[in-house]
Structure 1
Amino acid sequence: MQKLPENPVLMYVTDPMCAWCYGFTPIVRRLKALWFGRISVQVLVGGLRPYAQEPLTSSDKDKLAVSWHRAQEKSQLPFDYGFFLQPQAVYNTEPACRALLTVRHLRPGLILEVLRALHSAFYADGLDISQTEVLVKVVQPFGITENLFLAVFETEEIYQQTQQEFELVERLGVSTLPSVYLDHASGPRLISRGFCQLPELEDRLLQALQIPF
């Protein structure tokens, strides 16, 4: 039988402005708590709609709103739909992804907590987390001052690292957010594609680790 790693790493591919990820992040956090000391979680930013510049069309908004409603029904989390009332709504997820990478540099142990806060700011509070001043306010409660955040967030290095992570996720073959992989010596193994509940996620992890029920 293949020898399992002592501390398996789950690769959670997400985006702070992904509605299904908003519902799924609490599930990943609960799994991490249940498996405390037995697994680690690595957060990768998938770039749902990076670098978008054009406002959403009415058709785009309709499709997005349907997806949000479905995510709300599954997750039972609050959603603010004021975003769709903006006539010039631009859905650019790159700044929020870059903010998460910034947090990884500054407070790596808090990355899931900050991801949850970013989700809530956008979906529950209706804040535009593509704006730097909003991102600054979201991360401040986690002990990251404005000057410290901007010192990393606005560098060319973090822009490049964000782009490189988008490319890494593409090479993994990620087609749906959220997705979860188990990092194996033979290469990442897909555990979950899309939203699922905690029991299903845990079952898939157990199967991947070849641990008997």
Structure 2
Amino acid sequence: MAATLFYVHDPMCSWCWAYRPAWQQLKQLLPSELLVEYVVGGLAPDSDEPMPVDLQEDIQGYWRKIQQQLGTEFNFDFWSKNTPRRSTYEACRAVIAADKQGYAEAMIEAIQRGYYLQARNPSDRDVLVAMAKEQELDVAVFLADLDEADTEIRLLDDIAMARRWKVPGFPSLVLLVGDQLHHIEVNYQDPQLTLQQITALLDD
């Protein structure tokens, strides 16, 4: 029976960054016949407004919590070197645009490493374009694809899908087996436990 594992995420989601090591391990363990697809959930819509100070402090608090719980590395220089905005849709579009050139995973990693380790702001288009160039994408095509109507349609469709599935947050894993959807528990430290959930449903 055909099966697909959907990874619902946002490239600027701090918990997705924390989950990255386990996710990379899990992908290596998955059955070869299981399709894996990425769904961008769209954490925060487009905005040119600076992020309020209290929200900046809240998000830094999330980073510290993740760091303490999981040992995930964060570069807090981001908050002094940039003008943060609560805006992730453009980074989501960048993933979709990169996907058209076969570089979705490379762009996700570039955004995460740029944001969390290099104190770069992926809410800014010029930062995303620089990342596309670093990943050796065709930058002219990438720029055009950022503004293509079908990129926006894909973004809105993905967001609607995540809401329809009632995912509890990002990251989330949703397994489609035949016409049945199953929410898979995300385990940040033991991908084997996640694999067991998936294989049990595939074997039913």
Q: Is TM more than 0.5 here? A: yes
Residue 106 of structure 1 corresponds to: 101
Instruction: Give, in whole Å, the separation in 2 of the partners of 1:199 and 1:76.
Output: 19
Q: Give the share of equivalent positions with the same residue, in percent.
A: 23
Partner of 2:164: 171
- Structure 2 match to 1:38: 33
Q: CA RMSD in A?
A: 2.2
Aligned match for 1:136, one of 129, 135, 140: 129
Please report the TM-score for the alignment, with normalisation by the length of structure 1.
Answer: 0.85
Query: Residue 119 of structure 2 aligns to which amino acid in structure 1?
Result: G
2:5 corresponds in structure 1 to 10
Distance (Å, rounded) in 1 between the aligned partners of 2:144 and 2:88 = 20
CA–CA separation in structure 2 for the residues paired with 1:79 and 1:48: 19
Per the alignment, residue 59 of structure 2 pairs with 64
**Does the CA-based 8 Å contact 2:94-2:107 persist in structure 1?**
no
Deviates more, 1:123-132 or 1:156-165: 156-165
Moved more, 48-57 or 159-168: 48-57
Say whether residues 1:182 and 2:175 are aligned partners.
Answer: yes
User: The residue matched to 2:79 in structure 1 has which SS?
Assistant: helix
Matched-pair contact (CA < 8 Å) for 1:191–1:208: no
Alignment length (residue pairs): 204
TM-score, normalisation: structure 2: 0.88
* Secondary structure of the structure 2 residue equivalent to 1:183: strand
Question: 1:20-31 counterparts in 2 under 5 A?
Answer: 20-31=15-26
Query: 8 Å contact 1:80–1:123 — kept in the other structure?
Result: yes
Partner secondary structure for residue 185 of structure 2: strand
Aligned residue in 1 for 2:108: 115
